Structure 1
Amino acid sequence: MAAKPANVYARIEPDVKEQAESILSALGIPASNAINLFYKQIILQKGLPFDAKLPATGPVDLSALSEAELSTELEKGYADLQAGRAKEASVVFADIRKDYQL
C-alpha cells in the first residue's frame, strides 16, 4: 500500500517559479515530481545534489591587473579562441537576449 503523500509548502520568487515550471513543462515533468526527485537526491547524496558554494573567482577586473597579469589574461583568451572555446560577440548577445527575453 502506498504511503499517504505529504505536502511541502515553500515561498519562492514568482519569476523563478515561472521559469522553472516552464522548463519542467517542456520536459514533461510536473513540478511535484521534480521536487520529489530533488528530495530523493538529497537523501541519496546525504546533502544537496550540487555544490553550494561561492565561486572561487569572479570576473577579472582589468584595471587592477599589472601589465604581466593582463598579458596572461589576454593569452588565455587567445588560447580559448584558437581552441574554439569562444563565440562571436553577436552570438553571445543574441543568446543573452533570447535567454532573458530582452
Structure 2
Amino acid sequence: MSTKTQTSLRLDADKLAEAKQILSELGMNFSEAVNIFTNLIVAKQGLPFEVALPNEETKAALLDVRARKNLETITFEQFQIEIGTE
C-alpha cells in the first residue's frame, strides 16, 4: 500500500464548491477525484486528455459563434441523425 501525503491547492472557491457538489452526486469526494486524476496522469504519462491550441479553422468557427454568425438551428432529432445515433 502506498503512503498518502497531504498537499495544498489554491482554487477558485466557487468552482471548488461546484466541483464538490458534482462529485458528491457522483458518489465521491474531492480527494478521491484528485487521486483518480493523478493516477490517470501517471498511467498516460501526461494529461489524460488532449491539450492543444485550436487550428485556424477552429479559431474562425469560435469567432463566428461568439459573433453569432453562420449558426444553424436544428432539432434534437436532426442532431441525432447527424452524429449517427438514430
**TM-score (norm. length: structure 1):** 0.58
In the aligned structure 1, how far is the partner of 2:7 from the partner of 2:16? Answer: 15
Identity of counterpart residues, as a percentage? 29
Structure 1 residues 22-41: Cα deviation after superposition (integer angstroms, max 9, x where no partner): 00001111111110000010
- Deviation of the 1:84 alpha carbon: 1.8
Greater relative contact order, per chain length (Cα 8 Å cut-off, separation 6+): 2
Bigger radius of gyration among the two:
1
Q: Which residue of 2 aligns with 1:33?
A: 32
State yes or no: 1:49 paired with 2:17: no
- Report the count of equivalent residues: 70
In the aligned structure 2, how far is the partner of 1:30 from the partner of 1:48? Answer: 21
State yes or no: 1:59 paired with 2:63: yes
For 1:59, give the aligned amino acid: L
**TM-score (norm. length: structure 2):** 0.67
Aligned-CA RMSD value: 2.1
- Deviation of the 1:52 alpha carbon: 2.1
For 2:63, give the aligned amino acid: P
Structure 2: tracts of 5 or more residues without a match:
80-86
